[in-house]
Amino acid sequence: MSYPRLQNGSDALALEACAGLALACAYSSSDEYEAELIQVRRKAGAYGSRHYWQAYAAFALAAAAIAAVLFIL
């Protein structure tokens, strides 16, 4: 039996492999699969950066540098 290929990349390949071989699947439930999928995507940076303070610090440093230049002039 042939299963249609999923479009989500390598993470979807694991699910596709498990779909055909339920007894040999590494995940005992869809909850386990989803939890690992989210963990892998977080490590890859798919959900964005949580380091907003770095952007704020860079903005504050640039603003302070501009203020210092204007103060000197």
Q: How far is CA 47 from the centre of its chain?
A: 4
- Tens digits of residue pLDDT in 7-32: 555 666 666 666 555 556 777 888 88
Domain locations along the chain: 10-72
For residue 30, the tally of other CB atoms under 10 A from its CB is: 11
For residue 32, the tally of other CB atoms under 10 A from its CB is: 12
- Tens digits of residue pLDDT in 35-72: 999 899 888 877 776 678 888 999 999 999 999 999 99
Q: Which has the higher per-residue pLDDT, 5 or 16?
A: 16
Instruction: Give the global pTM.
Output: 0.37
pLDDT of res. 10: 63
